[in-house]
Amino acid sequence: MTAVQGQYYDGASSRRIEASLALADHRLVLKAGDDILSIVRADEVEISPRLGDTVRRIEFASGAAFETADNDGIDRLLAVLAPSPLAGLLHRLESSYPNILLSLLLVVAFVWWFAAYALPWSAERIAYRLPREVMGQINRQSLSLMEGDWLKPSRLPDERQKELLQGFEALITASGLERPRILFRDSEILGANAFALPPDTLVFTDALVKLAQRDEELSGILLHEMGHLEARHGIRQAIQNSALTLASLLVFGDISSIADVGIGLPLVLTKLGYSRGFEREADSFALAHLHRHKIPARHFADILLRLEQQSLCEQGKKDAGKACDKPAATPALFHYLSTHPDTRERVAAFQQ
């Protein structure tokens, strides 16, 4: 068996010495020229596991090290010194293309299964087991955080508020749903918007109420938000997003440098996907209830379109200083970057 050529560093300085490592009588003999630097048993040194074509390192107890690019040479020495079926297992896994293909398939399948099924399934179970008091607590806190800067007392006339509440109540009672707490708030930041805070709070902004041309439009929105409440979407989404972040941290250990794009982007896309899924669910919930009460579903479609037109115009004004009549259509790719499904798709469901 030929000796393995490499470099020796004594651990005290950076000086490099050409050296060789050979096997004699079940011991490793380290030589520089014809001087023997060390004779050791295999268990007295630490031999780094093979990794691609990177330099192999044999570390001695003294802190000295022998480094060599001759990976096969070291493997031959090891096969005699410490034969083990596990030796180089990882390297064998990493070198075999069938194994790589299998790993790739397993990883992709697992990630997909986890993100598309396992996580939403568990989040739903957890959300329905969560005590109402806990959710109420979260809800009160979220509201109190938003109250003030984000949400100001409504400036709608009291009569208008009462009138709307009565209409909403009738609808909810007729639907046999649990009665939520409905709040009207003025918000410059949120604009025309409505949102649900689990377990039982709905918030409508003044701007949304004003944007509506008919009360049926607001009924559609109410039912959509009730859909979120009934299915505990808020909590489920929070659980799913946190668990996803934690899981990716567990797998990747860190999210930094270009991993921001590589890992961060799929993460964001998945979270947005969850959000769109919940919106679709809430839409079908609203649609079913609108049908039941014989309220024409197109009213909900109308206000959705108006909302979109308004937000696109505002965006356009901000960016280009242009007034707009017809907002430009968003490219299909952007749908994946959105928290809500494409408005056209949503509207189509309600116009049928």
Partner 1 sequence: MSDKTYRLLFWGEILEGFDEKRAWNELTRSTKITPERLNAIRERGKTAVLFKGLSVRQAFELQEKFAAAGVKTHLKEDPEGPPDLSPLAEEDAPPPRVPVSATAKPSGSLHPQEHSFNFTGEGGEYFRIWIVNLLLTILTLGIYGPWAKVRNKRYLYGNSFLDDISFQYLAKPLQLLKGRLIALGLFAVFLTLQFIHPIIGSAFMFLLMLGMPWAINRSLAFNARNSAYRNVRFDFRGRTGEAYWVFLVWPVLGSLSFGLAWPYAFYKQQRFYAANSYFGTTPFEFNGEALSYYKIAGLGILLAIAILVVSSLLGNLFLPLAFIGPFLTFVLVGAFFTVQMSNQLFNSTNLADLYFSSTLETPAYLGIYAVNTLLIVLTLGLYYPWAKIRLMKYRASCLSLAGLSNLDHFLAGVQKQVGATGQEIAEVFDVEFGL
Q: Which residues, in sequence order, are bridge partners of residue 204?
A: 184, 194
**Which among 75-83, 220-228, 250-258, 283-291 is the span making contact with partner 1, rule CB under 8 A?**
250-258
Give the three-state DSSP class for 11.
coil
The encoded tokens of residue 319 equal 């960016």
Distance, in Å, from the CA atom of 216 to the CA atom of 286, rounded to the nearest integer, reads 12
Q: Is 79 in the site for partner 1 (CB under 8 A)?
A: no
**Which among 205-213, 217-225, 238-246, 282-290 is the span making contact with partner 1, rule CB under 8 A?**
238-246
Q: What crossing angle do the helices spanning 215-230 and 264-292 adopt, rounded to 10°?
A: 120
Distance, in Å, from the CA atom of 3 to the CA atom of 22, rounded to the nearest integer, reads 4
Q: Is 352 in the site for partner 1 (CB under 8 A)?
A: no
Shortest distance, position 207 Cβ to partner 1, whole Å: 24
Interface positions, 44-63, toward partner 1 (CB under 8 A):
48, 51-55, 57, 63
**Which among 131-139, 150-158, 286-294, 342-350 is the span making contact with partner 1, rule CB under 8 A?**
131-139
- 75, 122, 136, 142: which one contacts partner 1 (CB under 8 A)? 142
Shortest distance, position 135 Cβ to partner 1, whole Å: 10
Question: Considering beta carbons, is residue 91 or 344 the nearer one to partner 1?
Answer: 91
Q: Is 99 in the site for partner 1 (CB under 8 A)?
A: yes
**Which among 91-99, 205-213, 299-307, 344-352 is the span making contact with partner 1, rule CB under 8 A?**
91-99
Question: Considering beta carbons, is residue 159 or 325 the nearer one to partner 1?
Answer: 325
Shortest distance, position 83 Cβ to partner 1, whole Å: 18
Sheet of 152-153: strands edge to edge? 152-153, 181-186, 201-205, 194-197
Q: Is 100 in the site for partner 1 (CB under 8 A)?
A: yes
| Burial class of residue 56 in the structure, from the number of CB atoms within 10 Å of its CB (0-12 exposed, 13-18 middle, 19+ buried) | buried
In 120-253, which ranges are E strands?
A: 152-153, 181-186, 194-197, 201-205
Distance, in Å, from the CA atom of 152 to the CA atom of 157, rounded to the nearest integer, reads 14
Q: Is 207 in the site for partner 1 (CB under 8 A)?
A: no
Binding-site size, partner 1 (CB under 8 A): 81
Interface positions, 298-337, toward partner 1 (CB under 8 A):
315-316, 319-320, 322, 328
Interface positions, 5-44, toward partner 1 (CB under 8 A):
7, 9-17, 22-25, 27, 29, 31-37, 39
Shortest distance, position 288 Cβ to partner 1, whole Å: 30
**DSSP letters along 74-94, please?**
HHHHHHHHS--TTTTHHHHHH
Distance, in Å, from the CA atom of 151 to the CA atom of 188, rounded to the nearest integer, reads 8
Give the three-state DSSP class for 193.
coil
**Which among 77-85, 177-185, 206-214, 240-248 is the span making contact with partner 1, rule CB under 8 A?**
240-248
Q: What is the CA radius of gyration of the chain?
A: 33
The encoded tokens of residue 83 equal 């034969």
Question: Considering beta carbons, is residue 95 or 284 the nearer one to partner 1?
Answer: 95
